[in-house]
Structure 1
Amino acid sequence: MNEELKTADLYSALNKPNLIFGADRELILSVGVIAFALIFTGLNLISTIIGISLLVFSNYFLRLMAKADPLMRHVFLRQNKYRKFYISRSTPFVKE
């Protein structure tokens, strides 16, 4: 009864989160759309500078967020969904 365990290869590309420029894909694309809309609707130097600076600074902060936890956006959305379920303090009925 000497049986060998079957092994399965797990490719790393299947387990990695979807990141663009090191940040969450949906967040960086939405910031990019907002920045380019700001640039092309304003069509002056000030709106161009504001749009590019918005893109650069938000990319920096989104990269910091993804470096801490690549799935932070999903965790935050799920936390907001269950906010009424989890109370923020302990109850007097906790068994110690």
Structure 2
Amino acid sequence: MALRKIPIRRAGNRTNLFMGGDRELVMFAGLLAFALIFSAQELRATAFGLALWFSALYACRLMAKHDPKMRQVYLRHRRYKRFYAPRSTPFRANSSSQGRQYK
């Protein structure tokens, strides 16, 4: 009996983008621009807020076009340790002081 093939459609496997960029980054940039415009209530603040919004939207779209999961990859990269000490194998006999650093 042959195995049944089920196609994976692109629509069910897309990244979560909003206005062409990463959803959380675009919404946070919009929130910052909105807060700047309505808290200052000046023409210069409005112009700067709109410039901030459009430049952040452009940067988010450019980033999402390059790699839609770049934010998640960057955040995972920041959680890694800066330096991993070299170890020969997992079966290496460590001293007691070396064994305590892994607990």
TM-score range, shorter chain: 0.7 to 0.9
* Structure 1: distance between partners of 2:23 and 2:84: 29
Q: 43, 46, 61: which one pairs with 1:45?
A: 43
Distance change in 2, residues 1:38/1:79 (3 Å): same
Q: 20, 23, 34: which one pairs with 2:21?
A: 23
Pairs aligned (count): 87
TM-score by length of 1: 0.81
- How far off is 1:73 after superposition? 0.2
* Structure 2: distance between partners of 1:59 and 1:29: 9
- How far off is 1:29 after superposition? 0.2
Q: Which consecutive unaligned segments of at least 5 residues does structure 1 have?
A: none
Bigger Rg, structure 1 or 2: 2
1:11-66 per-position Cα deviation (integer Å, ceiling 9, x unaligned): 32221111111100000000000000000101110110011000001111111111
Q: Which consecutive unaligned segments of at least 5 residues does structure 2 have?
A: 89-103
